[in-house]
Structure 1
């Protein structure tokens, strides 16, 4: 077999670099800054590319939505609480920027334990050996009491918030649930039976938990029915909350509510199928826009918080 002749590039058509459409320009480059400058200066120094660009766009959309009286809903998994990001969400509620919260049962555990004693998140591998994992008495009693009281209180999340807010727990001011209750901001809890440690306690009643979380689902559907023009952000739930959101959106559209033009955002440190498909892509096909930003919650949430506050309190949404 004859050896192939090297291809000649003689005659290849070229064009001027200056006339070529390009995706990166010097205006989008990051800018180094000196120590001691403000957080706003830091934000302005970020590159206008990829995740940095998207983060600022998300913050701008939140600010524009709230200035227009539209909702900003945050759905989050327990990891957001465990890594210390709850105070940023509390501050957004207090500033009138965060209008509703949705979460899973594990978030109730960690939020309540932090409020009760300032600690949470046991060593599962060690405790599992002797079956003591998940057996903290106070946690089981409090959360199962919240499920029992949910019907008369107005929901599972609201019941837990009321119990913590009216307690003498030393760290109750750090509770997302308590602060949401005090500010009259909806916080719904979406429980999968058998997934949370309190379900193995003697005080657990399936009929209470099921009724309570179904009530919260219906409340969440009401919140989604009002999402037109707003922002829905998911942080740290790979399966449960994306599925809850998708069913809620389908239900409200089926009932005739117009929810088509809104923004969805997914924050997580791993790109997962359901958040990308059921939050970012499918819901926004009718005219909205979805963003997916990969990174750690303990970094992304403070950054987004800072950008939102700078744009909101600075009087304009331009950095």
Structure 2
């Protein structure tokens, strides 16, 4: 039997503690301003990470460095376009990279003020994704873009402006086209509903999205000192970002000292590895788990308050 009376202890003053009261959160008054609420968050775990991401965006904005947002489809379905467009117009976000699903939801919102369908019901009778106007107009835009030497993002945005889409003020694609701000669309052939349509032209789809890959790579090459955030793309955009970053560095661009953050409702392998860890060498990368409809408004409000308060 071991003699527990001989167990050695030492003073707590000599122990390194991971949490101190200086890191604690503080209660807010009911009518608290956003800046005070932000300061009240604990400097612990996700609270500390969230503050670090906000601080990085604020610093990048002040130093005129690139802040880029990558968006998955659910970001649009959660009603967040007005908040993202506001950040773009204020010069806080410099551009967007989106996946195919995101572009479809954005296009439908712009044209008809509604999007998202009952997949299970449509799948049972073969009507899923077969709304004529969505497929026809978006595939027209791809062909027009290919003919004019445009990327997919710009081609879709211009199409919405040409059509005078009723809700174009709520469309990231249309607003970016109007402001001549960069927006790139990265699709996986066969993965989007518009690829099912008889009007689909694989060559035009491939040409315009590949143009956007090169455009996105050029933006990533200037990421030094900036920030890139991924919201809700668990496969396509993390993979595209990794390849774009590789090419940028292969061609002699530093693109190393930047902040990368992944926001999603669950933590996924590819965003964690290809956005947060591998590109940053484990330094300056953050994973924050939460619902988009809460985290994006919170992030936007925090950044704006810190810029207003002097950061």
Report the TM-score when normalising by structure 1: 0.94
Asked whether 1:235 is paired with 2:224, we answer: no
Asked whether 1:64 is paired with 2:32, we answer: no
After superposing on structure 2, the runs of 4+ consecutive aligned residues of structure 1 that deviate more than 3 Å are none
Structure 1: unaligned runs, 5 residues or longer: none
SS at 2:153's partner residue?
A: helix
Looking at structure 1, the residues matched to 158 and 164 of structure 2 have their Cα atoms a distance apart, in angstroms, of 12
Paired residues for 1:1-319 under 5 Å = 5=1, 7-151=2-146, 152=148, 154-285=150-281, 288-315=283-310, 317=311
Is the 1:262–1:288 Cα contact (8 Å) retained in structure 2? no
SS at 2:31's partner residue?
A: coil
Displacement of 1:159: 1.1
> C-alpha root-mean-square deviation of aligned residues, in Å?
1.4
SS at 1:53's partner residue?
A: helix
Displacement of 1:66: 1.7
Looking at structure 1, the residues matched to 308 and 180 of structure 2 have their Cα atoms a distance apart, in angstroms, of 23
Q: Which protein has the larger Cα radius of gyration, Structure 1 or Structure 2?
A: 1
Looking at structure 2, the residues matched to 65 and 161 of structure 1 have their Cα atoms a distance apart, in angstroms, of 27
Looking at structure 1, the residues matched to 162 and 50 of structure 2 have their Cα atoms a distance apart, in angstroms, of 37
Partner deviation per Cα, 1:255-295 (whole Å, 9 max, x = no partner): 1111111111111111111111111111112x851111111
Report the TM-score when normalising by structure 2: 0.96
Equivalent pairs counted in the alignment come to 310
Structure 2: unaligned runs, 5 residues or longer: none
Partner deviation per Cα, 1:108-138 (whole Å, 9 max, x = no partner): 1100111111111000011111111101111
Is the 2:35–2:309 Cα contact (8 Å) retained in structure 1? no
